[in-house]
Amino acid sequence: MATSTLVVTPFLQDHPMKPTYDERKFTELLLHVASRLQSDRSGGATKLNKVMFFAEFAHVRRTGRPISGAVYQKLEHGPAARRQRPVRDNLVAAGEASLEAEEFLGYQQHRLVPLRNADLSVFTTEELATIDKVLADLDGLNARQVSDLSHDEAGWQLVDFGDDIPYEAALVGARQVSTPTSRRLQHEAAAQAGLL
């Protein structure tokens, strides 16, 4: 059992994030990230899982909301979306992707290979920018390095294995950067809490 508990502000206790899961958006995110990882020698399932997680949680830090609203859980090698495998299997069964096994640095790697382009029209410009930034930040890192980075995330540290990682955890220990969006979100939260 984890000994730490997630402490949230009174505002978040009264107004927890309850994102709506959008399976179509999650499916397109999975295809898009898998496509972008095709030229990455270490772009197998582990790195794919972590890029998806970092994109969702980085977007929470940037905008206050996730991209697809998928539920991520704590697993041994880092966070993964609960719907990742079923969605991947549906893509393979529908002939929209294939799953290839290959050896990389002595390890068996499973790579999702899209057989169609992702429909990027389901994403906002902000969402695509977050995805691109996460891919750029993790470029050149292997699966072990990306997995280790995910273990540094508060959400992974604060829950037990198999438990859901709350999106609020994206804000724990996050560097506070003042941008027009963050100032607007802060103002909206203060107004909702009756502080203005």
Average pLDDT over residues 95-120: 93
Q: What is the pLDDT of residue 6?
A: 43
Confidence of residue 17 (pLDDT cuts 50, 70, 90): confident
Domain membership of residue 92 (yes or no) is yes
* Cross-strand pairs, 17: none
Q: What is the pLDDT of residue 10?
A: 45
Q: What is the pLDDT of residue 5?
A: 42
Count of domains observed in the chain = 1
Query: Does 33 score more than 50 pLDDT?
Result: yes
Domain membership of residue 1 (yes or no) is no
For residue 96, give its domain range. 16-192
DSSP notation for 94-150: TTSEEEEEEEETTEEEEEEEESS---GGGS-HHHHHHHHHHHHHHTT--HHHHHHHH
Q: How far apart are the first and last CA of the chain?
A: 40
Average pLDDT over residues 78-84: 97
Domain membership of residue 60 (yes or no) is yes
Query: Does 103 score more than 90 pLDDT?
Result: no
Domain membership of residue 7 (yes or no) is no
Q: What is the pLDDT of residue 109?
A: 87
Cα distance between residue 99 and residue 93, in whole Å = 10
- How many degrees, rounded to 5, is the angle at CA 45 between CA 137 and CA 95? 115
Instruction: State how far the alpha carbon of 158 is from the alpha carbons of 14, 55, 168, 173, in Å.
Output: 20, 19, 11, 12
Domain membership of residue 158 (yes or no) is yes
Query: Does 13 score more than 80 pLDDT?
Result: no
Average pLDDT over residues 28-36: 99
Tens digits of per-residue pLDDT, 49-72? 999 999 999 999 999 999 999 999
Domain membership of residue 28 (yes or no) is yes
Q: What is the pLDDT of residue 15?
A: 52
Domain membership of residue 2 (yes or no) is no
What percentage of the chain carries pLDDT values higher than 90? Answer: 63
Q: What is the pLDDT of residue 173?
A: 67
Domain membership of residue 3 (yes or no) is no
Tens digits of per-residue pLDDT, 126-178? 999 999 999 999 999 998 899 999 998 988 888 999 999 999 988 886 444 55
Question: Phi and psi (nearest 5°) for 98?
Answer: -130, 160
